[in-house]
Each structure stands twice: as structure tokens, then as C-alpha cells.
Amino acid sequence: MKFIISIITLFLLAGCSNNDMKPIDFKDQKPRLIIEEYLSGNVKAYGILQNRSGKVTRQFTADLNGKWDGKQLILDEKFNWNDGEVQTRQWQIIKIDEHHYEGTAEDVVGTAKGFSYGPAFKFEYVLLIPVKGKEIKITFDDWIFMQDDKVAINRAIMTKFGFKVAELTVSFIKN
């Protein structure tokens, strides 16, 4: 019996292997998302926040305005949540090379890492989220996929201690 349980456990663990997609998986796909070009100027965003079981808990609209100086993207974000909360953030995103970026913002812990290939841009960072008068650290695995020259879709998985706590889905529309 122990042998059978061991075999079943082995198959279950093998099924949990890390098959996560990687930015380079999209290197030959089109259209190419050049994040500093797409986010330069005005972009409107519409999004939903879902808890870990998938229930939509909040919705928002956001206005983004980016300025690219050839080396750094300054991105101002203003989020208007459906419960009346307004949040602002200013990102400073530096292009390291054709495929790599680094970003900082006041409520980001350390440095965000960005990866760009084909229509995909992945941004990994830890954000301080206010909850009941305290700030908690939430890890974001953020993916943006270019649809055409005006529309991009963003999907972010938010985790704490490696466990999913929420998901964010956003549609971006460039003016």
C-alpha cells in the first residue's frame, strides 16, 4: 500500500512541475509591444480585481500618461476605484537593453524587473498594499499582451508567501 501511495505522490508532484510561460516564448510573435512607445502619451485602462476564488471584488478605470526620454519612461497612473478610492503611482522605468527593463515607484519594494519579447511584456515586482491601516507586501506577476496598435490586455497574479491572493485583469486603450 505504501508503494502505491508513493507512486501516486510521485505522479502528482510531477504534474506540479513549473510549466510557466516565459517572455521569450513570444519572441517571434506579432505585433511587437515596445512598452515605452505604447505607454507614451495617454492610455485609458479598465480593470477588475478578483479574489483568490475568482469573485470580482473591485473595479476601476485608470488614466495613464507616459513620457519617454530615450532612456527612461516616466509613467503617471491614476486609478479611480468603484468604491470611491483614488490611487496614484509614478513609475520610473529604465530600458536596460532590447528585452530587459527595470522599474521603481514609491510603493514598490526594491526594483521591478521587466522582460519584453514579441507582443508580451512581463513585469515582476513587490508592491506595498494598504490593508486595514497597514501595508502588506504583495508579489505581482504582471503580463501585458499587445493586441493591436491601440489595445493591450494585462493579466496580473498577486501572491503572498507563494499563494495566490488575487488576480487583476486590465484592458488598455491608447488614445
Residue range 125-169, pLDDT digits in tens: 999 998 888 999 999 999 999 999 999 999 999 999 999 999 999
**Taking residues 4-32, what's their average pLDDT?**
64
pLDDT at residue 2, as a whole number:
52
The answer to the question of residue 69 being in a domain is yes
Nearest to 65 by CA among 40, 46, 94, 45: 40
- Reported as a single tens digit per residue, the pLDDT across 21-47 is 898 889 989 999 999 999 999 999 999
CATH number of domain containing 160: 2.40.128.20
DSSP 80-96: EETTS-EEEEEEEEEE-
pLDDT, greater one: 76 or 19: 76
Number of folded domains in the chain?
Answer: 1
Q: 1 falls in which pLDDT band (50, 70, 90)?
A: low
- Residue % of the chain over a pLDDT of 70: 89
The answer to the question of residue 4 being in a domain is no
The answer to the question of residue 117 being in a domain is yes
Tell me which of 11-25, 41-55, 74-88 is least confident.
Answer: 11-25
Question: H helices within 21-125, ranges in order?
Answer: 35-38
The answer to the question of residue 13 being in a domain is no
- All residues at 6 or more sequence positions from 63 whose CB lies less than 8 Å from its CB, including other chains: 42, 43, 44, 45, 77, 78
**Taking residues 49-69, what's their average pLDDT?**
97
pLDDT at residue 19, as a whole number:
56
> Cα separation of 145 and 33, whole Å?
7
Task: Provide the mean pLDDT of the chain.
Answer: 90
The answer to the question of residue 2 being in a domain is no
Q: Specify the residue for cell string 487583476.
A: 168
pTM of the full predicted structure?
Answer: 0.85
The answer to the question of residue 16 being in a domain is no
The answer to the question of residue 38 being in a domain is yes
Residue 156, burial from CB neighbour count under 10 angstroms (0-12, 13-18, 19+)? buried
pLDDT at residue 20, as a whole number:
85
Q: 9 falls in which pLDDT band (50, 70, 90)?
A: very low
Which residue segment(s) compose the domain that 39 sits in? 24-174
